[in-house]
Copies of this chain bind each other. A is one copy, B any other.
Amino acid sequence: MTENNQMRDVFDAIADPTRRRLIQLLAEAEELPLHELTTQFQMGRTAVSKHLTILKEAGLVLDRKVGRETRFRLNAEPLKEVQDWVGFYRKFWLTNMMRLNQLLEEEEE
């Protein structure tokens, strides 16, 4: 169940700034039709639609048809993978900061 069907890497999906902005817009608005999302960008409808398709392929977006419009909403769940991945490296930049502090202390003399 939950049929993820994840045919696109989440990291790939969030690499594009336009797609991150789409994610943000959908987070703010719960559900939005394509034409309304399109007004937020300078590019044409087709381009925005393609970006949404990529987000869909990564499982980050769900869509449903309502009348003549297609409404999109966010599914943040696949972002867990990103959080897990990046979380692993937290210790590395933290130890880096500690080493930096140490160096700064040593220089103070």
Contact = CB atoms under 8 A, between A and B. Distances in A.
A75 B92 CA distance: 8
Contacts of A12: 15
A80 interface: yes
Interface string A66-96: 0000000011110110110111111011001
A89 B85 CA distance: 15
Interface residues of A, number: 27
B14 A11 contact: yes
Contact of A76 (B9, B17, B83, B93): B93
A27 interface: yes
A76 B92 CA distance: 6
Interface of A: 9, 11-12, 14-15, 17, 20, 23, 27, 74-77, 79-80, 82-83, 85-90, 92-93, 96-97
